[in-house]
Amino acid sequence: MDGVLIIDKPSGRTSHDVVRDVKKLLGAKKVGHAGTLDPLATGVLPVCVNEATKLTRFFLHHDKEYRATMLLGVTTDTLDREGEIIDRHEPRLQEREIRETVEGFIGRIEQRVPQYSAVKFKGKALYKWTREGIAVDPPVREVTVHHIRVIEIRQSYVTFEVFCSKGTYIRSLCAAMGENLGCGACLFDLRRTRSGPFAQEEAVSLEGLPDGERRAVLEKNMIPLADALPGVGTIIVDEDTQNRIKNGYQPMCGVLRDADTPLPGKGDLVKFVARDGGIIAVARMCFSPEELYLMKEERQAVEILRVLN
């Protein structure tokens, strides 16, 4: 059983907990998730089963969408409501000031990775160093906030939607907003509504179901390997080319010129698929379609990134 599941992760459970549950329910050999959600958060968690774990790397670069609520006036050590309160202020702010500050974070920004995070330093997660009382200087990352929209402001609670690049910490975003407002803030609630092409509408919840029904739900909602990379160009190849790719062959320009489907651009991903629909490999285009037709037939056209069984 190979494929991708879009799980609606419940609050209070780690992403690893969900992976462990799926692995046990399906009796799978390999299961992994594509993009960690903190225990506090809910929502879209792509989970790869067996052969699909080879595709995990292609999901990790997806942009994400969240619906978040921050609590103004409260600062915690973990940057969310589950941490220890280290400062508290009464926010005396106008709605216009709050909206302008929140929406002012659109664009490329620098974020320092939270001390309580799974990012590793010398092979050990930062949160483990922090809990041991060892000071570690977290790395600074540049992320992109494509869009923010404030949905509701109710007393000290501000709910907003954010569309951002991979690696964006929403709790760090809330802390920075609170600092700019002068009252401090922490993340109160978070839901991931989209991860790349996968939206919350297709996410399945396992909460409250007996094991037998949970397994049936997983089997019914498994996305086949061939459909697991929507939006990625497809090239159908014959059995001979299929076998050659599995043995290390890098397809040449002549092979791609015969493709029946439009080719993606230079640097874009493309998947090679057998005539029966099974995915063979994922590759990156070396040339644009226009350049491809100017090259010699024996020139390597793609770089194979991952071969599947």
Whether 38 is catalytic is yes
Q: How far apart are the C-alpha atoms of 161 and 168, rounded to whole Å?
A: 13
Long-range pairs for 226-229: beta carbons < 8 A, 24 or more residues apart: 226/271, 226/273, 226/277, 226/278, 226/279, 228/3, 228/4, 228/52, 228/55, 228/279, 229/55, 229/58, 229/269, 229/271, 229/279, 229/282
User: Parallel, antiparallel, or unpaired: how do β-strands 198-199 and 185-195 relate?
Assistant: antiparallel
- Of the candidates 2, 21, 38, 80, the residue annotated as catalytic is 38
Q: How far apart are the C-alpha atoms of 118 and 14, rounded to whole Å?
A: 11
Q: Is 289 helix (H, G, I), strand (E, B) or coil?
A: helix
Alpha-carbon separation of residue 263 from 8, 129, 226, 269 (angstroms):
34, 47, 17, 10
Alpha-carbon separation of residue 280 from 31, 114, 142, 231, 261 (angstroms):
20, 39, 34, 17, 17
Q: Is 191 helix (H, G, I), strand (E, B) or coil?
A: strand
Name every residue whose Cβ is closer than 8 Å to that of residue 290 and which is 6 or more positions away in sequence: none
Q: How far apart are the C-alpha atoms of 15 and 145, rounded to whole Å?
A: 24
Name every residue whose Cβ is closer than 8 Å to that of residue 195 and which is 6 or more positions away in sequence: 34, 35, 44, 45, 46, 59, 62, 64, 65
Looking at the annotation, which residues are catalytic? 38
